[in-house]
Structure 1
Amino acid sequence: MMKSQVALLYVLIIMSEGSAQSLKPRRSVFFSDVNLKLFKEPDFNGLSSLLVREDIGLLFVGARGKVITLSLDDITVKTSEVNWTVTSKEKALCKVKGKSIEECDNYIRMMHTLDDGRILVCGTKAFNPTCTHLMFEEGNVTMEDSFQNGRGKVPFDPNENFASMVNGNTLYTAGSINFLGTVKSFQRHGRNTLRTEPIWSWLNGPNMISMKFAEISKHSNNNEDDNVFLFLTEIEIKDQHSNLRLSRVARVCKSDLGGLRILQKKWTSFLKARLDCPFGDEGSASLVQDVFFLQDENNVTNSIFYATFTLITEPSSTCSQSAVCAYKLSDIRQVFRGNFLTETAYGTWVTYTGAFPSPYPRSCINDEMRASGVKTSYDLPDSTLQFLKNHPLMEGAVTPLTGKPLLVRSMAQFSKIVVDKVTSLDGEQHNVMFISNNSGWLQKAVWSGDDGGRIIEELQLFQDPQPIRFLQLSRSGQLYSATRTAVAQLSVRDCSRYTSCADCLIARDPYCGWDHLKGLCAAVAGASNFSMIQNLIDGDATMCPSSHSVSMQITDIHLTADVAQFLPCSPDANLPISWSFSGKILEPGPRHILLSQGLVLTPSFTDEGIYTCETVEVVKGREHKKAVIQYHVKMSEVGGVNWFQAIVIYILASVCVLCVMLIIYVCWKKKPQNHVGSASVSYASTEQPEGKTESCNCGTDADTKKTKPTRVKESSKSTI
């Protein structure tokens, strides 16, 4: 009886063991163990923009009512502060319009560097968007006295999403242009102002995400005009009664001037297509969250867009899933050269099968079009412009270059992403992804055709769970991240967390290699093959010097026969563990319950000996084992401290049994009874809506199934 009661003490541990493994980081590093610099002040909040200026060594941080500058080398060093607040009159007028005190402040939402070195800065200014310029002269940051109307450049609402970019001195923005935030537009500002046509087929309830510029003309054989891409989500337009949101990518041409008679001061090159990132249950839609453009210096059409996605879930659902998909620029351009959708008389959208007007610019203006007399968009005939106005949507969808996501994580909400191109010791280039989530963590991941996606490690950058809103990477290898209340600085080339040669090589971190002269894991940037070893193919640890083997200290433990004892094993990496007893693999059985965090041992006198816990890591078919802890189990007669432990365990087990019986009794008493004479029996409290279930099935393969972290230490801090 005692055995069965003692076993109940481990029910919660056993229930937490996931039968399926999901893609999870090799190592989780908690806030106290991350080597980073943090900037945070008591009155610092509402952080709403971030700008890296490597030319002057400053990080510009836009927040509520101020812009501060921090040293890029050490963000704990504050170099200046420029206040830009609202007057009491402006705040009172804003409150009269129904806004709160917090909303009626000036949130610095946008900062862009111009060709002359000035910074264009725009704030919400108590729901009256305003812009000005910051200047850096002789080590000082100052603000111009002149101000411009910022409507259409930044939203009125400080919490609304929008996208912006500057090319040269030309500003492109996508967001709301009215006080209520109900009218949204994708536009170019300046001398040749253009915007989207204000009809629902162009933009249907859009949420603007990111904007990128591609210098197509630089590597084009026919001098095609440059492209501007906008990534967004919007309500599906194929069915006017649908509320389903989809991810889109839209394109316009840099030299677009609008139409001469039709589409005056409107884009004549606006096209959009669905952005597909297939993961999760069939039929579920994934929404793009952020996009990073990694440019190919040799051929811009080979450049890659990396994007984070999350699945649409019910508001009450606890199941979340995120992914990273990558898209080749040439594939996106190919979709925009494909077929179109056209709207029927019934409001639905079908494939267009009619004749195209001539000329029709499926691409931006190039030499072929110029030779036919179309040198600018003013030269396009009215028939072409009318077709453009009525057919903004392409039939084809943009699919990932791998056909599927680079990586998928269950129980995660990815937010921002940046990608760094790293050269390893063998001269090969590797794209390392840094992906933030909504709980203050950062994932460091790579993808290869052989391995697929793998997360090298995850780092807790902020102690309090909160969304990471900004990620910026400098050329010197410093990563700057920010929430609404703090800024963190992290070196992406920090290899100090790999404490042994084997760990350094098996991790296959493109940044790191083992320096056998210094006896430590260090950054490979600038290092030579003479002093350093690195193996990113299979992490062969046999390359390591034999002198770096570490002897394992043995822990003596005295146990009592037939009294269960938990032997913990907490590796520093998120890897499966195995147990051996006196040199032989320990198999699960009545006396040996194997868990991801340790071993439940109910010993007999034949179970004395050495118990070893090892991590097991398989890389390219090669198995790597590393001893974590060893126990020397010795048996004692019942008595003394062990007898006292047995009594405590017996009492706790009895309490568990009583609790279970009480729960069963309460549930039985609450069960509805169908009494004689009742008109009906109601089960509304347990009925599920048709077609829905409370279960959370977050994946379709071994890499996307839900699991819980294997680490126990500070597990409540992680939501991954």
Structure 2
Amino acid sequence: MECKFLIRERDCRSKFASAQFTAMCCCVLIIFLLPVSEAWKQSKPRLTFSYQDLLMNSSCNPFQGSAESSSFQSILVDEERGKLFVGAKDLIFVLNLENLNKEPKKIYWPAANERVDLCKQTGKKATECANFIRLLHHFNKTHVYTCGTGAFHPVCGYIDLGPPTEDLSLKLDLRSLEPGTLKCPYDPIQPFASALVDEYLYAGTSSDFLGRDTALFRSPIHHLENQYIRTEHNNPLWLSDPKFIGMYPISDTSNEDDDKIYIFLRETALDATSTEKAIYSRVARVCKKDVGGQRSLINKWTTFLKARLICSVPGPEGYQTYFDELQDVFLYNSNDDKLPVIYGVFTSSSSVFSGSAVCAYSMAEIRSVFNGPFTHKESPDRHWVEYQGKIPYPRPGTCPNKAFDSTIQTTKDFSDDVVSFIKNHPMMYKAVYPINKRPIFIQVNVGYRITQIVVDRVTAKDGQYAVLFLGTNVGTVIKALSVTKDNLNAEEVLLEELQVFEASTPVLTMEISSKQKQIYVGSKDSVVQLALQRCGAYGTACSECCLARDPYCAWDGNSCCRYVPAPKRSDAKI
């Protein structure tokens, strides 16, 4: 149910307003006129729904697939066609965004029999020796690029969708498949991230059967040349047992030569202050036009830099409670595509407590750290310190562009000094701290961990909100928002806890459709379509609706329903 909320504050204060109308207005304005008290902090969600509750109120629409399908861990939203592509074991489903169960289609794509047999002979479990679809990307308006594990022999291909104006043709030509090595994991459960940019695939994945060589690769797709770029072999300064979480192309300036790929990961920390093994989260970046270097960095990144991502709770006397292990990231686009907000889900690796936190980062802060000092270590028995020596020109990590000397046209033109420096100093000295230096949402000792996130921008009566939808390892989705109280603090508002799967199973992936106002949640056994709001469940009184503080909802005079902003009046002259 939707409602257009047109009550104005001056209407509420009119001396001619009826008592009933005034009461209704005052309850609406209570959110905006009264300060948020500490007592309003909720340790429990405002609403809790079981799986059966969601089915009964038509808020949840599960898609089970078929008897042989499982492992729904890759999802691609196609807003233009109104379709949802879902990668599973040996199958790709093409579903309707409005109703997942309306005329579903599927592409059967098993691994070759000889590959399955070889996989089993090497000692892998029979359940692992299949083609798990791990990658789905839009290639153009008529094709989707996809890769699967191929029974530990990765393989990639194209789904031909046909012209956008016609019905889907869904052709996957098994005869024109190409090797998926350096593009897709061998292992069906290895953490993995990728981005398809300008017909090149950037992928953080393993390059071998045993998973010992995990690196950041860029590979051409459907090109005849076999040139690829990667991080250094066996150099823990660059990457140390990394787990890739997400990557995005982001323009730093209006100059296309400066375009970069930003990569988010976690890894074993060489720069940890303690002697115990520690996991740190990182943001890394490379220039999109990096073509590798000469001599020591042939076919290797020459612009790779990384910095630590901090998500911690400040305590007394400088003590910090850290959430070190990045689990998922979400790029929240603002009005300026060069200044997105990055939301990250982190978990604690502490043996003292179990917890999860959400931190938000500004691109300005991330860029500032990459423009700052490099870190340095004289010898294995020394501490990491700020590099104080001479930095070669052009600054390592800078993308070649027309502003440089005409002798530097590509990264192959970098001097030996630049190449040597970045090879031995890929890490920044300063860390990236979140907005307001603290998490915007924390859950500690609650019996679950948050592992997935999507964020929706909502226009409410009193402004815009970022609403967090958080998937957990027990099959629930948490709906929450962070309300800024002043320049330093924010209040957490836990709105809903939803059991979206019949069984307690981890959420593997989440995607959001802003157009459909739906979230799509994948698990081992099914995909669930979930509505963003359940306003009618907040109660039948105005005060209950308003005090729920759900930005999707408003009181229309009769019921609590979804708030729809009134259309803006056009100033154009007719």
Q: Same fold (TM over 0.5)?
A: yes
2:240 aligns with one of 191, 199, 204: 204
Instruction: Give the match for residue 140 of structure 1.
Output: 169
Which segment drifts farther, 276-285 or 142-151? Answer: 276-285
Relative to structure 1, the CA distance from residue 23 to residue 166 in structure 2 (aligned partners, 3 Å threshold; closer, same or farther) is farther
Q: For the residues of structure 1 that align with 2:112 and 2:406, how far apart are their CA atoms?
A: 57
User: Could you tell me which amino acid in structure 1 is paired with residue 530 of structure 2?
Assistant: L
Deviation at 1:77, TM superposition (A): 2.1
Instruction: Give the match for residue 674 of structure 1.
Output: none
Q: For the residues of structure 1 that align with 2:102 and 2:190, how far apart are their CA atoms?
A: 31
Which segment drifts farther, 49-58 or 265-274? Answer: 49-58
- Map Cα deviations across residues 280-338 of structure 1 (whole Å, 9 max, x no partner): 9846552110000112233623x210000100044xx7x42100000001100110111
Contact 1:165/1:212 (8 A) holds in 2: yes
Alignment of 1:69-468 (within 5 A): 69-137=94-162, 138-144=167-173, 145-190=175-220, 193-198=228-233, 199-218=235-254, 225-238=258-271, 242-279=276-313, 282=320, 284-298=322-336, 300-301=338-339, 303-314=340-351, 319-346=353-380, 348=382, 349-365=384-400, 368=403, 370=404, 373-410=407-444, 411=446, 412-426=448-462, 428-450=463-485, 451-468=490-507
1:397 is paired with a residue of what secondary structure?
coil
Contact 1:115/1:169 (8 A) holds in 2: no
User: Could you tell me which amino acid in structure 2 is paired with residue 49 of structure 1?
Assistant: S
- Map Cα deviations across residues 428-451 of structure 1 (whole Å, 9 max, x no partner): 221111111111111111112215
Deviation at 1:224, TM superposition (A): 5.8
Unaligned runs of at least 5 residues, structure 1: 1-20, 530-720
Alignment of 1:490-639 (within 5 A): 490-500=530-540, 501-516=542-557, 519-527=558-566
Q: For the residues of structure 1 that align with 2:394 and 2:191, how far apart are their CA atoms?
A: 37
User: Could you tell me which amino acid in structure 2 is paired with residue 432 of structure 1?
Assistant: V
- Map Cα deviations across residues 34-81 of structure 1 (whole Å, 9 max, x no partner): 221111143321223111112222111111111111111101224211
1:56 aligns with one of 78, 81, 84: 81
Identity of aligned residues (%): 35
- Map Cα deviations across residues 146-170 of structure 1 (whole Å, 9 max, x no partner): 1111011111111111111112322
Contact 2:45/2:494 (8 A) holds in 1: yes
Deviation at 1:130, TM superposition (A): 0.6
Deviation at 1:238, TM superposition (A): 2.5
- Map Cα deviations across residues 575-630 of structure 1 (whole Å, 9 max, x no partner): xxxxxxxxxxxxxxxxxxxxxxxxxxxxxxxxxxxxxxxxxxxxxxxxxxxxxxxx
Relative to structure 1, the CA distance from residue 58 to residue 528 in structure 2 (aligned partners, 3 Å threshold; closer, same or farther) is closer
Q: For the residues of structure 1 that align with 2:232 and 2:335, how far apart are their CA atoms?
A: 34
* Equivalent pairs, count: 499
Contact 1:22/1:409 (8 A) holds in 2: no
Q: For the residues of structure 2 that align with 1:23 and 1:365, how far apart are their CA atoms?
A: 51
1:39 aligns with one of 63, 73, 77: 63
Contact 1:111/1:122 (8 A) holds in 2: yes
Which structure's CA Rg is the greater one? Answer: 1
User: Could you tell me which amino acid in structure 1 is paired with residue 373 of structure 2?
Assistant: N
Identify the structure with bigger relative contact order (alpha carbons < 8 Å, sequence gap 6+). Answer: 2
Relative to structure 1, the CA distance from residue 400 to residue 24 in structure 2 (aligned partners, 3 Å threshold; closer, same or farther) is farther
1:334 is paired with a residue of what secondary structure?
helix
Q: For the residues of structure 1 that align with 2:550 and 2:253, how far apart are their CA atoms?
A: 36
User: What TM-score, normalized to structure 2?
Assistant: 0.82
Q: For the residues of structure 1 that align with 2:159 and 2:451, how far apart are their CA atoms?
A: 29
User: Could you tell me which amino acid in structure 2 is paired with residue 309 of structure 1?
Assistant: F
Relative to structure 1, the CA distance from residue 505 to residue 127 in structure 2 (aligned partners, 3 Å threshold; closer, same or farther) is same
Q: For the residues of structure 2 that align with 1:26 and 1:265, how far apart are their CA atoms?
A: 54
Deviation at 1:223, TM superposition (A): 6.0
Q: For the residues of structure 2 that align with 1:283 and 1:490, how far apart are their CA atoms?
A: 34
Point out 4+ residue stretches in structure 1 off by more than 3 angstroms.
Answer: 21-24, 239-242, 279-285, 361-368, 371-375, 526-529
Contact 1:336/1:363 (8 A) holds in 2: no
Pairwise CA RMSD: 2.3
Deviation at 1:248, TM superposition (A): 0.9
Alignment of 1:636-647 (within 5 A): none
1:290 is paired with a residue of what secondary structure?
strand
Q: For the residues of structure 2 that align with 1:407 and 1:181, how far apart are their CA atoms?
A: 34
User: What TM-score, normalized to structure 1?
Assistant: 0.66
User: Could you tell me which amino acid in structure 2 is paired with residue 387 of structure 1?
Assistant: F
Q: For the residues of structure 2 that align with 1:252 and 1:264, how far apart are their CA atoms?
A: 15
Q: For the residues of structure 1 that align with 2:524 and 2:381, how far apart are their CA atoms?
A: 43
Contact 2:136/2:144 (8 A) holds in 1: yes
Contact 2:112/2:150 (8 A) holds in 1: no
Contact 2:94/2:104 (8 A) holds in 1: yes
Instruction: Give the match for residue 529 of structure 2.
Output: 489
Contact 1:44/1:63 (8 A) holds in 2: yes
User: Could you tell me which amino acid in structure 1 is paired with residue 336 of structure 2?
Assistant: N
Contact 2:312/2:321 (8 A) holds in 1: no
